[in-house]
Amino acid sequence: MMRRRPKSFLPVMLILMFIPLVLAGCNSAILEQTAAAKSAGKDKKQQVTTLHFWFSIGGEFQRDFQKYVIEEFEKTHPGIKVKLTIAEDADKTHISDKLLAAIAGKSSPDVAVIDRFTIGSMAAKGAVEDISDLVRRDGIQSADYDPGAWEEVRYQNKVYGLPFLADTRAMYYNKTLMRNAGLNPERPPGTIEELDDMVEKLFIKNKKGKYEQVGFVPWMGQGSLFTHGLNFGARFAGKNGEFDLSEPQTAQALKWMTSYAKKYDIANLSEFSDTTAQIGVSPFWTGKIGFVFEGNWILRDLEKYRPEFEWGVAPMPSVHGSPQTSWIGGNAMIIPKGAVQRELAWSFIKYAAQKDGNFRWAEHAGGTGLMTSMPAVNERLGLSQDHNMRVFLDLMSTSQIRPVSPAASFYWAETYRIRDLAINGKGGPAALLQEAKDNIGAELAKIKRQEK
């Protein structure tokens, strides 16, 4: 006879059959929850705020700034990613057309580096943010900066940026060429007359009548009308503080420049200049030029180009020999009009354009030739210990600035326009200066009408 199974067996079997299914479902839910949590954490981690930064200096300057300033800023400001874009300045106006177009199109970057003297022009156009309130709130001290550099970032008693870097102009001279010409290489010219006498001995032509060596080309390097005008004693500032071309010293400087174009043949000099410009560094380092007026930044060329001649640096000659002066330039960091991340932009500017940022960029091995707009940083860098850099550094105390003006970029372009016309024999100095003066006056009047 068959034995009956207990009545409770079937329910037990059913329960045992469903347990794996229930556990599988639970595990699946747990896995889904875990995956969701990980995904949420990943999304949260990937939430990065991008700061758009437009830089006007390319090449090695861009590379070094990215490595020594931007990357360090990102380390101390997690969650912020700085995207660097190059927006180079126009040759004559020194304002980036790309930046102006972005501002006009309401697609401004958060921060931009511009040529400092153009702040007056930018502010008059309504293209840059007034940051006076941020400067006051965070206790930024104007005394920390070179006085001229600070003056350039102000327009109508408002602050529109923080100074960044500085540069002055001096005379580089080739001691080897001087010695070969029977000149004392340890006594560079101190006056314009001494310069004229010395360079005459340094011009050499080949059998085809082309220059293979020149003594001096007034419009080479930093040979602007502004540079030479200062050396002739002009100040370029009228009674109302606006840019002034009416001083007789300015006319003397332009006549002097044209005299070189006539005496040494502008076409022959231009051909020589075009040839030497192809080496990718300052033409002075070819060893074929006796004297050139240049800025401290060409010392950076020495990182990749070792000249095989003796050379030195001295203040530029002046008409009377003393006082020898120069002019200071450099950049500023601004918040363009229309930038939507004002506080974030300001945090970056404070880092990059104050002592930490200036020092980080200028201290590294590739920083040769860099000079900041902060005296304390220059002292910390030990710039005065380098005898060449010391010349540029010492000139900061006597250097002038280009007059702050709503027409700054316009007047700067005009000085180059009339210089080029004069040296190419397309107008007399007096007539060209009057023409430029009239043009600048008309531009100022137009700007003032627009400001109203």
Residue 45 confidence class, pLDDT cut points 50, 70, 90 = low
User: Does residue 40 fall inside a structural domain?
Assistant: no
Please indicate, yes or no, whether residues 142 and 218 belong to a single structural domain of this protein.
Answer: no
User: Does residue 143 fall inside a structural domain?
Assistant: yes
pLDDT of residue 30 exceeding 80: no
Q: What are phi and psi of 285, to 5 degrees?
A: -75, -5
Residue 46 confidence class, pLDDT cut points 50, 70, 90 = low
Average pLDDT over residues 275-282: 82
Please indicate, yes or no, whether residues 264 and 411 belong to a single structural domain of this protein.
Answer: yes
Please indicate, yes or no, whether residues 146 and 189 belong to a single structural domain of this protein.
Answer: no
Please indicate, yes or no, whether residues 227 and 362 belong to a single structural domain of this protein.
Answer: no
pLDDT of residue 219 exceeding 50: yes
Select the more confidently predicted residue: 41 or 384: 384
Predicted TM-score (pTM) of the model is: 0.88
Give the lowest-confidence range in 40-49, 59-68, 217-226: 40-49
Please indicate, yes or no, whether residues 321 and 334 belong to a single structural domain of this protein.
Answer: no
Contacts of 111 (CB under 8 A, 6+ apart): 51, 52, 53, 54, 333, 334, 335, 336, 339, 345, 348, 349
Please indicate, yes or no, whether residues 226 and 334 belong to a single structural domain of this protein.
Answer: no
Please indicate, yes or no, whether residues 227 and 374 belong to a single structural domain of this protein.
Answer: no
What is each CA distance from 309 to 188, 289, 293, 312, 392, in whole angstroms?
A: 16, 11, 18, 10, 21
Q: What is the pLDDT of residues 195-212, one digit of tens each?
A: 999 999 999 999 999 999
Please indicate, yes or no, whether residues 283 and 416 belong to a single structural domain of this protein.
Answer: yes
pLDDT score at 155: 96
Please indicate, yes or no, whether residues 64 and 135 belong to a single structural domain of this protein.
Answer: yes
Please indicate, yes or no, whether residues 116 and 143 belong to a single structural domain of this protein.
Answer: yes
Sign of CA dihedral 115, 119, 123, 124: negative
d(CA 30, CA 36): 10
Please indicate, yes or no, whether residues 242 and 369 belong to a single structural domain of this protein.
Answer: no
d(CA 332, CA 329): 10
Q: State which of 355, 373, 395 marks the end of a domain.
A: 395
Most confident residue range from 36-40, 334-338, 363-367 = 334-338
d(CA 176, CA 93): 37
Residue 452 confidence class, pLDDT cut points 50, 70, 90 = low
User: Does residue 15 fall inside a structural domain?
Assistant: no
Q: State which of 372, 395, 418 marks the end of a domain.
A: 395
If one counts every other C-beta atom within 10 angstroms of the C-beta of residue 317, the result is 22
User: Does residue 28 fall inside a structural domain?
Assistant: no
pLDDT of residue 367 exceeding 70: no
User: Does residue 296 fall inside a structural domain?
Assistant: yes
Select the more confidently predicted residue: 305 or 19: 305
Q: What is the pLDDT of residues 232-253, one digit of tens each?
A: 999 999 877 789 999 999 999 9
Average pLDDT over residues 73-80: 94
Residue 63 confidence class, pLDDT cut points 50, 70, 90 = confident
Q: Which amino acid is at 379?
A: E
User: Does residue 364 fall inside a structural domain?
Assistant: yes
User: Does residue 103 fall inside a structural domain?
Assistant: yes
We report the CATH number of the domain holding residue 90 as 3.40.190.10
Please indicate, yes or no, whether residues 274 and 258 belong to a single structural domain of this protein.
Answer: yes
Q: State which of 395, 417, 442 marks the end of a domain.
A: 395
Q: What is the pLDDT of residues 284-332, one digit of tens each?
A: 999 999 999 999 999 988 877 889 999 999 999 999 988 789 999 999 9
Average pLDDT over residues 116-138: 96
Share of the chain above pLDDT 70, in %: 89
DSSP bridge pairs for 347: none
d(CA 165, CA 160): 16
What total of structural domains would you count in the chain? 2
Share of the chain above pLDDT 90, in %: 74
Domain ranges, residue 385: 49-167+329-395
User: Does residue 440 fall inside a structural domain?
Assistant: yes
- For the chain, the 3-state helix, strand and coil shares in percent, each to the nearest 5, are 50, 15, 35
d(CA 59, CA 78): 27
d(CA 405, CA 409): 9
